[in-house]
Homo-oligomer: A and B are copies of this chain.
Amino acid sequence: MSEYEPLTPASLPKRLGGLSAVADAVGGAPEAWSVEEVGDGNLNLVFIVGGSAGSVIVKQALPYVRLVGDSWPLGLQRAFFEYNALIRQETVDPGVVPAVLHFDEAQALIVMEHLVPHIILRNQMMAGDRVAGLGEGMGRFCARTAFRCSDLHMATDKKKADVALFSGNAELCDITETLVFTDPYFDAELNRHTTPQLDSLVAELRANEALKIEAQHLKRAFTARAETLCHGDLHSGSIMVTGDSVRIIDPEFAFYGPMGFDIGMLVGNFLMAFHATPAHVADRAARAAYQDWLLDVTRTTWTSFAAEFRTLWERERTGILYPRTLYEDQGHEAASKRACDQVLAEIFTDLLGFAGVEMHRRILGLAHIAEFDSIEDSDIRAPLEAKSLRLGRDLVLQRRNITDIDRLLGLARSSETGDNI
Contact = CB atoms under 8 A, between A and B. Distances in A.
Contacts of A326: 182, 185-186, 212, 216
25 contacts: A151-B223, A156-B170, A157-B171, A159-B223, A160-B168, A161-B168, A163-B163, A163-B164, A163-B226, A178-B320, A186-B329, A186-B330, A188-B325, A206-B330, A212-B332, A212-B335, A213-B335, A213-B342, A216-B321, A216-B322, A217-B342, A220-B343, A223-B321, A224-B226, A225-B225
B164 A168 contact: yes
Contacts of A150: 224
A325 B220 contact: no
A136 interface: no
Size band of the A side of the interface?
35 or more
Contacts of A151: 220, 223-224
A170 B160 contact: yes
A332 B216 CA distance: 14
B332 A209 contact: yes
A157 to B, nearest CB: 4
Interface of A: 150-151, 156-157, 159-161, 163-165, 167-168, 170-171, 173-174, 177-178, 182, 185-186, 188, 206, 209-210, 212-213, 216-217, 219-220, 223-227, 320-323, 325-327, 329-330, 332, 334-335, 338-339, 342-343
Dominant secondary structure of chain A at its interface with chain B: helix
Copies of this chain, count? 2
Contact of A160 (B160, B167, B188): B167
Contacts of A160: 167-168, 170, 173
Contacts of A186: 325-326, 329-330
Q: Which of A216, A339, A343 has the most CB of B within 10 A?
A: A216
B185 A170 contact: no
Nearest to A220: B321
Contacts of A168: 160-161, 164
A323 B171 CA distance: 18
Nearest to A181: B320
Contact of A325 (B182, B227, B323): B182
Contacts of A173: 156, 160
Contacts of A320: 174, 177-178, 182, 219, 223
A228 B223 CA distance: 11
Contacts of A225: 224-226
Contacts of A182: 320, 323, 325-326
Given A156-B173, A164-B164, A216-B339, 4 more contacts: A150-B224, A151-B224, A164-B165, A212-B326
**Interface pairs A-B: 3 shortest CB-CB:** A209-B335, A164-B167, A164-B164
A277 to B, nearest CB: 33
